[in-house]
Amino acid sequence: MTTIVYTTTGSVRGTCGHKHRSIRTAYKCVLRDHRGCVSQGGYSDRHVTAIEDVTWALAHVSMRELDADEESTLVALMCD
């Protein structure tokens, strides 16, 4: 049985270093990073990435855990 965990990663900002057990906590982490960067006049390129076991592979993640507002915000952040 494989386990899926989530992290946030970007080519500029790197990873958050966490292995979140739900997409909701990963979403909150990426949102916190984006807000922190904006407050200092910068930007964050981090997005939510699913990790299967220890392989760092970008995966299609289910957003069923998010409400409509959270989902649209996450999609907007990922498309920046």
Q: What is the pLDDT of residues 17-58, one digit of tens each?
A: 998 988 999 999 999 999 999 999 999 999 999 887 554 444
pLDDT of residue 25: 95
Distance between CA atoms of 2 and 39, rounded to whole angstroms? 38
Alpha helices in the chain (DSSP H): 23-39, 68-79
**Residue 69 structural domain:** 4-79
The single-letter code of the amino acid at 8 is T
pTM (2 d.p.): 0.65
pLDDT of residue 78: 60
pLDDT of residue 62: 52
Q: Is 52 helix (H, G, I), strand (E, B) or coil?
A: strand
pLDDT of residue 55: 45
Q: Mean per-residue pLDDT for 2-6?
A: 82
Residue 60 corresponds to which tokens in the numbers above?
A: 């299609």
Quote the radius of gyration of the chain (alpha carbons, Å). Answer: 12
Number of domains into which the chain is organized? 1
